[in-house]
Structure 1
Amino acid sequence: MSGVYRPKRQRYTLEQSPQDEVEEHVAAAPSSHENSAAVGLSAPGTPSESQNPEQTTTTSSVLITVDEESTQEEGNSSSGDEPNSESLFTPSIEGKVAEMMEFLLTKYQTKEPTVKIDMHRIVEGYEACFPIIFQRACECIELVFGLTVKEDDHLDNGYVFCSTLGLTCEGILKNDHGVPKGGLLMVVLSTIFREGNCATEERVWKVLSRIGVYPGIEHAIYGEPRKFLTQELVQAKYLEYRRVPNCHPALYEFLWGPRAHEETSKMKFIEFWAQVNDTIPSAFPDYYEEALKEERAKAMASSSASP
């Protein structure tokens, strides 16, 4: 919509990778579920003996990511052509983003048609901000739950949900309330890729601790994460979990499983990172080159297998 400012995403170097934004958004995941979608957005925090790990502070401020350099420039100037994105996202607008997320997740769970006219009822009084609210809600659902919201070719002004990275096993990638758990798998697969196609268990849990996910502690969305990672996702062949050879005491590591290689690819991750950072895949040259090699290898294998 013309005349509506679309806030800039935060840019990252290779040292501060796109996964940092994924982790930040996963930390903003709904903290509790009843029969449908979430009622709040939880901030991450390391549980202690005096704090119940399931009792979290409700906030939606983590949903908003801005270009830090751009924000500094705007802060040093009293005028500008575009409004400051931080000032644009008032608590009321942030609340509408959370409501939109809840609405979309409910539609996903109930498999009911998702149409724009219903979304406009949610943003009543903030119609001019609808594109921004809808965009942010879709970004968070993609990053937190591994779902992409896209236009429905068979329904005017309608939308459908699909897996962001092509992962298909819905049974294993949903919790008891039908809420998708694909976002956690995305973070783990991304970590493995970034760590050279093999990540130690210690490294994986260190990454997950940044989003409030700890081994042995029940998570509102992901359940007991150790079982989910080392058993359920291994049985579904999305992950491999093996002991590191010649290592005492015993250490374990994660790799992509055969189903992950079959259903998604490194190039899909690169394209996703590029989308998150409003850039192009080649902006991550080392990873991009590795992904290209994988694509070429798959093409050659497919060609040689053809009659």
Structure 2
Amino acid sequence: MRLMTDGEDDTIPTQVERRSQDQVNQKVSELVQFLLVKDQKKIPIKRADMLKNIIREYKDAYSEIVNKAGRTLQEVFGLQLVEIDTKRHIYILINNLPHAEGQYLCRKQHSVFGDVRKLVTEEFVRQKYLETTPIPLTDPPEFKYQWGPRAEKETSKKDVLNFVAKIQGKDPTFWASQYSETKATP
């Protein structure tokens, strides 16, 4: 650290400060890449994994690195880093770009989904799109499925209902209970 004397510009960083800031910026870039890879597979991101795999010896700059990575994700990719579990410090990325009206997936049929049961009961649960609760005293076991924290952050029930209604060529009020639920939640 250099001492400041009269007439010196205190806004010019020293070589040590510059190198340190360059290293922090490198960690920001590495964290952005790490988060994008995790998000590609829709794997929730743990703070412990960010510290262990990327931030390492820069733990004292954790907040700065995560905040800068969050700004980069927002500005460059339109993604928002959201903490969905404040006790266990688990994060996800959500698409923050506005939905393009009228742009829907191709209408041709796909056989890409494979085992749909596995997709719904395992993949979507692991990715936090769905949460399951066992229904007591059922044989064979039955489960209640609800929106998970990722689904709640990425879309709204109203948008999903409107999308389904448009595909089906029906008015959203056709599904009365779901329609009333969208009116009850903001």
TM-score bin, normalised by smaller chain: 0.3 to 0.5
Q: TM-score, structure 1 length as denominator?
A: 0.27
Name the structure with the higher strand share: 2
Q: TM-score, structure 2 length as denominator?
A: 0.42
Greater relative contact order structure (CA < 8 Å, 6+ sep): 1
Name the structure with the higher helix share: 2
